[in-house]
Chains A and B, each alone.
Chain A
Amino acid sequence: MPGMWWVVGTVLAVGLVAAYLIWTAGRVERLQARAESATRALDAHLLRRAAAAAVLAERRYGVELYAAARIALDAVPEEREAAENDLTRQLRAVELDPDDPAGEAVIAASRRLALARQVHTDLVRDARAARGRPLVRLFRMGRRHDWPQYFDIDDPTVTTRADVTTG
């Protein structure tokens, strides 16, 4: 009965395609969710660094650094990248003292921010690559989410005396 084999074959093929589509949809969802978590983590680290810089500015370095920190804290999303870069420049301009607790807080916050930025960039890239695949676009998977956006800032690491050797 050749007709029966046709049916079996078609059902099998449809099943395989469906399984692949379901798996791909899951993958897109997972990458999307991870990119969103990374964005939240990055946001938290940006706020932490700006807050630490504001505390330091109040105690030691004065108006310009304080203003940069405030602007970074209050920036609207479109201006945030520029404001954060400006804060990085201000922090690099002052000589941070790792023995001072407020200085150390800024150094540590900058280091953590650098890691969060790195992870965020990688995860956003993965999510965007997955969403850009033709099949994913065709079935409009992940359409409930916004496209993951890069956050394009300079490397926020601040170098101190002790760090010079580790590059």
Chain B
Amino acid sequence: MRIGIVCPYSFDVPGGVQNHVMDLAEALIGLGHEVSVLAPADEDSPLPPYVVPAGRAVPLPYNGSVARIAFGPVSTARVRRWITRGDFDVLHVHEPLTPSLSMLAVLCARGPVVATFHTAMTRSRVLSAAQGVLQILLERITARIAVSALARKVQVEHMDGGAVEIPNGVAVAKFAGVEPLPGWPGECGPGTGGTLGFLGRFTEPRKGFPILRDAFVALAPHRPGLRLLVAGPGDPDDLYGQFPAELRDRVSFLGRVSEADKPRMLRSLHLYVAPNTGGESFGMILTEALAAGTTVVASDLDAFRRVLDGGRAGQLFPTGDAAALRTALAELLDDADRRAALTACGEQVVASFDWPVVARRVVEVYAAAIEATDGRVMDQEWVGLG
């Protein structure tokens, strides 16, 4: 199959959508498809061979953050040329409601168009400003994919259409078998040692870091050698300030970790703790911890319970309950067999999130879109905008 994928955000800066597009493209190539990715990027920036740069991206404040996007007549011409030359069987655009390449591609293309919605955008400026334009955009999309139950809900409730839910994939191979950070995770036996980990914004209330802190502060005096490894954006002083002075040397802060170091950080733990209190639509980090072979302890949120197969692949504790978390941590750190059993089950679970598996499901959506259109993706005169 000849597949054209459009990424709206520049590959010059890292981001969730960009990673998703790259992993998907590589998985599809691995399945034997021909893939071309169009993305905003400088001509001379180092890019994977399957990426076609569409020119410099302009930073534009959009929807509360700064997106590096490309728009305008030059970009339009490039999109149209890419579509014509590509002769694609199916066009797959990401985030088509962002005013960038994806939107241009949807407007220029005729034929099977699959769109993936990543964020749950309920009130975008584009949506509220131009209902007519939105309708023209959406009716050119043949099939929609939502990466989470939340994103799907927005589709159904606000955009009057269904979407197939296909979760984010995990590049299991990148996580399994990497070396832990030097000196980690250390000893862990009955009543002693053990390393807990947390990755994310510890200042953000819904990530629930204070719950983990309370559990750690309660458990550490009774468990010599217990350590806590924290990674994520934030100020070290804000983090250490939350702990009593005598425990501070048992807390390590890595700051922001790169995509490459993330697997190593996750491998450096005995237990990965996800004390989130809500607002998680999927729980990407859980699948990554499982892929790294680390035991997961998570709050009993819907999204987490689903990823952890109802508690078979990881320990769940009542959301927001630091005392329950402390008990769960103490029991699991004492019980190496139970940890091994959870990890083994986690490996099975994460296999269904592995990119080749996820990519096959995406290809089925491509097939459905092609069948429902019976035609090839073609360039079309850009007529009738509104």
- Interface residues in chain A, defined as those with a beta carbon under 8 Å from any beta carbon in chain B: 20, 23, 27, 30-31, 34, 37-38, 41, 44, 111-112, 115-116, 118-123, 125-126, 129-130, 162-167
Contacts and interface: CB of A to CB of B under 8 A. Distances in A.
Contacts of A34: 142, 372-373
B162 A115 contact: no
B384 A130 contact: no
Contacts of A38: 372
8 contacts: A112-B368, A115-B143, A115-B367, A123-B142, A129-B135, A163-B352, A165-B307, A165-B352
Contacts, number: 72
Interface in B302-341: 306-307, 309, 313
A119 B143 contact: yes
A115 B139 contact: no
A115 B143 CA distance: 9
Contacts of B309: 164-165
Contacts of B144: 122
B384 A120 contact: no
Contacts of B374: 37
B160 A165 contact: no
Contacts of B373: 34, 37
Given A41-B372, A112-B367, 13 more contacts: A23-B384, A30-B110, A34-B372, A37-B374, A38-B372, A112-B368, A115-B143, A118-B143, A122-B143, A125-B160, A162-B352, A165-B306, A165-B309
B140 to A, nearest CB: 9
Contact of A112 (B110, B306, B364): B364
Contact of B371 (A116, A121, A163, A165): A116
B365 interface: yes
A119 B167 contact: no
B316 to A, nearest CB: 14
Given A27-B384, A115-B364, A167-B165, A41 B139 contact: no
- For chain B, give the interface size range: 20 to 34
B160 A115 contact: no
B372 A121 contact: no
A122 B371 CA distance: 14
A72 B79 CA distance: 45
A142 to B, nearest CB: 14
Contacts of B162: 118, 121-122
Contacts of B110: 30
Given A41-B368, A123-B142, A118 B164 contact: yes
Contact of B368 (A20, A115, A125): A115
Nearest to B370: A41
Rank and list the top 6 A-B pairs by shortest CB-CB distance, nearest first. A115-B368, A41-B371, A38-B372, A126-B139, A23-B384, A119-B372
Contacts of B143: 115, 118-119, 122
A47 B164 CA distance: 22
Contacts of A115: 143, 164, 364-365, 367-368
Contacts of B164: 115, 118
A162 B164 CA distance: 18
B166 to A, nearest CB: 9
B129 interface: no
B383 interface: yes
B379 to A, nearest CB: 15
